[in-house]
Amino acid sequence: MSHSNDRRPQQAARRSRTPSRALFWRLFAINGFVFTAGTLVLALSPATVSSTVRLAEVPVLTIGLTLIIAANALLLRASLAPLDALATLMQRVDLLESGDRLADSGTGDLSHLIGTFNAMLDRLESERSASSAHALAAQEGERQRIARELHDEIGQSLTVALLSLKRVVDRAPEDLREDLRAAQETVRSSLDEVRQVARRLRPGVLEDLGLQSALSALSSEFSQANQASISRKVDPVLPDLSEDVELVIYRIAQESLTNVARHAHADHVGLSLTVSDGGLILRVTDDGRGGVRQEGAGIRGMRERAHLIGARLTIASPPGAGTDVRLVIPIEAERSRTR
């Protein structure tokens, strides 16, 4: 009983300190101070006003009232200015762009509101990062499962069908061999497509040979499947990267090249992974039509992956001037991640 009795006054005190009540009393105090100060100034000044206002006294009253209103407006504007900044931040805030917070510049009772909003953003970003990490981990697991099934089941079945067709072609009459060979080529091309899909779903070369070899293989696959030429530049010495960071770099490069193949109509593509001052930079550029206006699920997924490793993803796509996808990974943050 004593604990519940102690909590009641605390709950009542919290209700009495709500932002709306605090703002009300702040405005009330400001107005009271301004009008009191104005009254004292008029009372103690040599200016006097008769019971019937004379024409000469009108300027005195007008000047006094103007000063009171102006002082009140300036004080109220300064006190309520953080609300405009808070509304602007609410309109532009994006949980994938971390670190966008409202600075507390000693605004009195509004400090509680600003601090609560910043704490809410911290909590939402943390929860979104955790949920995105779980979702992407589940996605990668599902990709690996599908890749194994494609390789082990469908791939093996197509291989058996291909060998069976080869035996049939050897025994078939001459007039049927051309049709059987055509069917054999269809099965062989289907087997190649299944293997390519499995490699895209599960980058085994990334696990076996590392990031540099994986990007090289990705570039080779792109050049074989598309008419656009591609130039690759990867620094021979890269900082130590965790498996998560390597996978994010690979997936963003893969998605960028997929977008180029589908939408850009480019003649040349550039893929680079270089070390610069303070960061590791992945760039995928093309000379296509550009003009990316709406971000689809692919780009949104790229941003979520970049956010998970504390990297910054920017996409510049002016109409008619190609697209430049840039991923900047802070090296210091990555070193602390790998320790």
Which of 82-86, 146-150, 303-307, 322-326 is predicted least confidently?
A: 82-86
The answer to whether 310 touches 328, Cβ cutoff 8 Å, is no
Instruction: Please tell me which residue, 48 or 94, carries the higher pLDDT value.
Output: 94
Residue 199 has pLDDT above 90, yes or no: no
**Percentage above 90 pLDDT, the chain:** 14
Residue 25 has pLDDT above 80, yes or no: no
Residue 237 has pLDDT above 90, yes or no: no
Inter-axis angle of helices 243-259 and 297-308, nearest 10: 160
Residue 290 has pLDDT above 80, yes or no: yes
Q: Which residues contact 299 (CB under 8 A, 6 or more apart)?
A: 255, 259, 292, 315
Claim: this prediction has a pTM higher than 0.85: no
Write down how long the chain is.
339
Domains, the chain, in order of start with CATH, read 2-90 (no CATH), 212-339 (3.30.565.10)
DSSP string, 83-138: HHHHHHHHHH--TTSTT--------TTHHHHHHHHHHHHHHHHHHHHHHHHHHHHH
d(CA 205, CA 6): 64
Instruction: Please tell me which residue, 36 or 181, carries the higher pLDDT value.
Output: 181
Pick the closest to residue 281 from 294, 272, 290, 292 (CA basis): 272
Task: Tell me the average pLDDT across 143-167.
Answer: 82
What is the dihedral sign for C-alpha 27, 103, 118, 11?
negative
Average pLDDT for the chain = 78
pLDDT bracket for residue 281 (50, 70, 90): very high
Return the SS3 of 290. Answer: coil
Burial label, 227 (beta-carbon count in 10 A; 0-12, 13-18, 19+): exposed
pLDDT bracket for residue 316 (50, 70, 90): very high
Q: Beta partners for 273?
A: 234, 282
Task: Tell me the average pLDDT across 265-276.
Answer: 92
Return the SS3 of 311. Answer: coil
233: phi then psi, degrees, rounded to nearest 5 = -140, 115
What is the dihedral sign for C-alpha 132, 138, 142, 143?
positive
21 Rama sector, left if φ>0, alpha if ψ -120 to 50, beta otherwise:
alpha
Residue 1 has pLDDT above 50, yes or no: no
Burial label, 253 (beta-carbon count in 10 A; 0-12, 13-18, 19+): buried
pLDDT bracket for residue 2 (50, 70, 90): very low
CB atoms within 10 A of CB 101: 14
pLDDT bracket for residue 267 (50, 70, 90): very high
Per-residue pLDDT tens over the stretch 57-86: 667 767 777 777 777 777 767 776 677 777
What is the dihedral sign for C-alpha 132, 133, 139, 140?
positive
The Cα-based distances of 126 to 116, 131, 133 in angstroms read 15, 9, 11
282: phi then psi, degrees, rounded to nearest 5 = -105, 125
Q: Which residues contact 263 (CB under 8 A, 6 or more apart)?
A: 288, 289
Task: Tell me the average pLDDT across 157-176.
Answer: 85
Instruction: Please tell me which residue, 134 or 96, carries the higher pLDDT value.
Output: 134
Q: Which amino acid is at 305?
A: R
pLDDT of residue 98: 60
d(CA 172, CA 179): 10
Residue 259 has pLDDT above 80, yes or no: yes
pLDDT bracket for residue 43 (50, 70, 90): low
The encoded tokens of residue 301 equal 């997924």
pLDDT of residue 231: 93
The DSSP call for residue 56 is G
Per-residue pLDDT tens over the stretch 200-231: 777 777 877 889 988 998 899 898 888 889 99
Residue 315 has pLDDT above 80, yes or no: yes
Instruction: Please tell me which residue, 42 or 256, carries the higher pLDDT value.
Output: 256
Instruction: Please tell me which residue, 55 or 272, carries the higher pLDDT value.
Output: 272
